[in-house]
A and B are shown apart, each in its own frame.
Chain A
Amino acid sequence: MKDFAALLERLAFTPQRNGKLRLLAQYFTAVPDPERGLALAALTGDLKLRAVTASLLRGLVAERVDPELFAISYDFVGDLAETIALIWPEPDAPPNDTDLPLPQLVEELQQTGKAGLPALIASRLDALNASERYAYLKLATGGMRVGVSARLARAAFAEYGKLPLTEIEEIWHGLKPPYLELFAWAEGGDKPESAALAPFRPVMLSTATDLDALSALNPADYAAEWKWDGIRVQAVSDQGTRRLYSRTGEDIGGAFPDLLDRLDFDGVIDGELLVRRGDQVGTFGELQQRLNRKTVSKKLLESHPAGLRAYDLLLWGGEDLRALPFDSRRARLELAIAGLGDPQIDASALLEFSTWDDLAALRADPPDAVIEGVMIKRRDSPYLAGRMKGPWFKWKRDPLVIDAVLLYAQRGHGKRSGYYSDFTFGVWDGEELVPVGKAYFGFTDDELKALDRFVRNNTVDRYGPVRAVKPTKVVEVAFEGLNRSARHKSGVAMRFPRISRIRDDKPAAEADRIETLRAMLPPEVT
């Protein structure tokens, strides 16, 4: 437990992705089986423990700490598990400093009945130190929230084992904690066979392109289709087991029972998950409302029904089609989808074009607001794992841009320590500037230095690590789309905002107004 607790401590204070990868890889190297596998499962959310509720923990602490002192403390600390970890009175005879093994702690949590849990947890809290108590409570309550996604944990495993991430994702859902065979593979053993039904297959990804790059290619060699602004998914049905995976192999089917019900086939479809009402396609914002829910209400299922727009066919009726050229798979896809006869599952339409200029014209004027560009696929391309340059391209619509005024800046981390590199910017709402987004990339190193200098010379207020600056600096902000947001004062939320240009030529008064942004919002669904 000591190693795991130390790992969580370091992860909590390591904001950079590379730093986290390195810490995790070091942990996997240093810690033996089965502990490291259980830790990996805890981070990927695959460690299924009996739910230890917040009220159980509150009850335990109330037996040992005055409720008023606990309330004052919780108010100061802000996190229940952390408050309990810190406030838990250590026994008079200090615990001998033996390291309680993580596997033992996990096993007893799994095997203890509901009635026995409070006594078990209390005895363990008595035997652990504060940092271990925190790790133990995070483990027991399930919601780790320690700044590591399942994807990042797997990427760290790939780095530690020098293995391709796509291959790990492919077999992941067939493996169980503590992943002994996975660690054996990383240390030079054989690749584990996945015996699970409906496994995830690595997804084929595209690279970005533009008209200049395309002009060197023969349009007749390529097919094109719309790039829909939903979530790229892999829908799998295998002898009655149905799964919906994100393109990184996350099983997201739990939030989409309506779509799972419709996967009445035996095969693997690559497509776009969308909210669909007949021919009308919902915005990304609407789809987001369906994500990450443990239970989906009947009302939401009716108002935001899920659908699938199919791009490709990987397996069908037991046959692996991935080695076939795109054109052949496409023909099989059309047949397969027609055979389903389900209005919520259709094949993405191919676009007719004979020159790249034709395609450019289509891209410039898409028939639906939920289209974010075009996909271009070589007609002879097999379905390959990962992102390689060549067979598939994405040609996204031009980003939206606005001119905004810098309002706040915050210092960065690591190589950007000491530089103000995270910027909040706003636009005019009447006579006031209202914040509309935050960006921390898009600029060159020289531009970063210039922005840092501007922040230092124009600070008007400080709030902890944040500085408010004199609202005089205009920046061009590019972003991929705009959603309605009740959480932001401005009512809008940008997707992938970045600072694309510094507009020293523009006075703040000429920056954009909130009305300009509102006009970019997708139509509201009533």
Chain B
Amino acid sequence: MARLPLVTRPEGLYCPSGGFFIDPMRPVDRALITHAHADHARAGHKAVLATRQTLDLMAIRYGDDFAGARQVADGVMQVGDATVSFHPAGHVLGSAQISVAADGQRVTVSGDYARVANPSCAPWEPVPCDIFVTEATFGLPVFHHPDPATEAQKLLASVAAFPERAHIVGAYSLGKAQRVIMLLRQAGWDAPIYIHGALQRICDYHIAQGIPLGDLRPATDDCMKKADFAGHIIIAPPSAFEATWAQRFPDPVLAFASGWMSVRARARQRGVELPLIISDHVDWADLTRTIEELNPAETWVTHGREDAVIRWCELQGRAARPLHLAGYEDEAE
């Protein structure tokens, strides 16, 4: 039997012909990274190959010495006996799917991906393949992400209904925060948006990359008194809800931007008052549509609801298997 182009190892997904891992959980000699979220992009690899933006974002998060050597993905490249190329995944700035041709087969590793237009990054592209490795973060038929523009309207309607309160939007600092800001700008909100300190450098980088985030100001601005934040929108990583940081705002409405917000119990567990269903991942319809469109000979399913996606493939008569890779988090979404 022919050797498989990719295999699972304790460190993560491995290409024997190329001698590299994709998004490994532990430090390795050679890593290809799909995007800069912490559970995919870890510090400490000897060599990293990724898009320019992913490398820049990793440097912002981990410092310039996050890897021994780094290489910018550029066109079709040879790594060991494998050929690799990077293609936009539509997930966050710099995110890529990685196409690997090895041992006579083409594999597309999606990383995390989204099919809905996202003004903060390049759109997803189909990459033909024999084996499609898909994420399954929202791989349950209960997940239908609504049009994100209506979710932004929901936030603005709440700001109008409670003008004496501040609105704090919990959003993961890379990707989701900038997405929310862009959605608000597209909805016509041109007032200053206040951001938590943890977002500053990543937002600055987006602006430098040509994403027009508009007037952003630090939420810890000393000139702002508590009452001054009434009617304003503040964006912060969700962990800030727990910190004393949240005490500086007047009677805040806590919003949270995440695909999980479509399930009430999930939203309530977090003490969220205004759930905003804004996701950077494919929902069920987009996930299954993508498999149908790519029509791979085999589908491999990783991180998330593997059981449901495998079941769907089974019902469709598609060959599929779960990868059971540990270490990816879904809470960050």
Contacts and interface: CB of A to CB of B under 8 A. Distances in A.
Contacts of A90: 144
A490 interface: no
Interface in A362-420: 411, 413-415, 417-419
B251 A464 contact: no
A66 to B, nearest CB: 6
B157 to A, nearest CB: 9
A248 B263 CA distance: 34
Given A13-B267, A411-B242, A418-B244, A86 B311 contact: no
A90 B244 CA distance: 44
A86 B144 contact: yes
Given A65-B141, A66-B311, A87-B141, A72 B273 contact: no
A492 to B, nearest CB: 27
Interface string A406-447: 000001011101110000000000000000000000000000
A77 B267 CA distance: 11
Contacts of A417: 241, 246-247, 249, 251-252, 254
Interface residues of B, number: 37
A465 B273 contact: no
Contacts of A126: none
A413 B274 CA distance: 12
Contacts of B268: 12-13
B271 A418 contact: no
Contact of A72 (B140, B146, B246, B263): B140
A82 interface: yes
Nearest to B142: A86
B263 A77 contact: yes
B282 to A, nearest CB: 16
B116 interface: no
Given A65-B141, A66-B315, A86-B144, A418 B267 contact: no
A216 interface: no
A77 B284 CA distance: 15
A191 interface: no
B274 A418 contact: no
B223 interface: no
Contacts of A524: none
Interface in B283-333: 305, 307-308, 311-312, 315
B231 to A, nearest CB: 16
Contact of B270 (A12, A77, A130, A465): A465
A119 interface: no
Given A69-B312, A86-B143, A418 B241 contact: yes
B263 A86 contact: yes
Nearest to B242: A411
B275 interface: yes
A124 B73 CA distance: 51
Contact of B142 (A83, A413, A414): A83
Nearest to B139: A72
A472 interface: no
Interface string B221-259: 000000000000000000001111111010110100000
Interface string B51-67: 00000000000000000
B43 to A, nearest CB: 24
Interface string A109-127: 0000000000000000000
Given A417-B251, A418-B246, A78 B265 contact: yes
Interface in A78-107: 78-79, 82-83, 86-87, 89-90
B247 A73 contact: no
A73 B140 contact: yes
Nearest to A78: B265
A507 interface: no
Interface string A46-82: 0000000000000000000110111011001111001
Give the dominant DSSP class at B's interface: mixed
A415 B249 CA distance: 9
Given A86-B144, A464-B270, A465-B270, A79 B246 contact: no
Of the candidates A70, A76, A78, A90, the one having the most CB atoms from chain B within 10 angstroms of its own CB is A76
A452 B242 CA distance: 11
B247 A26 contact: no
A465 B308 contact: no
Contacts of B249: 417-418
Given A86-B262, A411-B241, A411-B271, A76 B142 contact: yes
B208 interface: no
A16 to B, nearest CB: 9
A141 interface: no
B36 interface: no
A26 B162 CA distance: 12
A412 to B, nearest CB: 9
B265 A79 contact: yes
A99 to B, nearest CB: 15
Nearest to A82: B264
Contacts of A70: 141
A325 interface: no
A25 to B, nearest CB: 12
B1 interface: no
A506 interface: no
Nearest to A465: B271
B50 interface: no
B279 to A, nearest CB: 14
B243 to A, nearest CB: 8
A488 interface: no
A523 B158 CA distance: 52
Nearest to A129: B146
A72 B244 contact: no
A69 B144 contact: no
A240 B87 CA distance: 79
Contacts of A411: 241-242, 271
27 contacts: A12-B264, A13-B272, A65-B141, A68-B311, A69-B308, A69-B312, A72-B308, A73-B140, A76-B140, A77-B265, A82-B263, A86-B144, A90-B144, A130-B144, A130-B146, A411-B241, A414-B251, A417-B241, A417-B249, A417-B251, A417-B254, A418-B241, A418-B246, A418-B247, A464-B270, A465-B270, A465-B271
A-B pairs, 3 with minimum CB distance: A418-B246, A86-B142, A418-B247
Given A12-B268, A13-B272, A413-B271, 18 more contacts: A13-B267, A15-B273, A26-B161, A65-B141, A72-B305, A72-B308, A78-B265, A86-B141, A86-B262, A90-B144, A130-B144, A130-B146, A411-B241, A413-B254, A417-B249, A418-B241, A419-B247, A464-B269
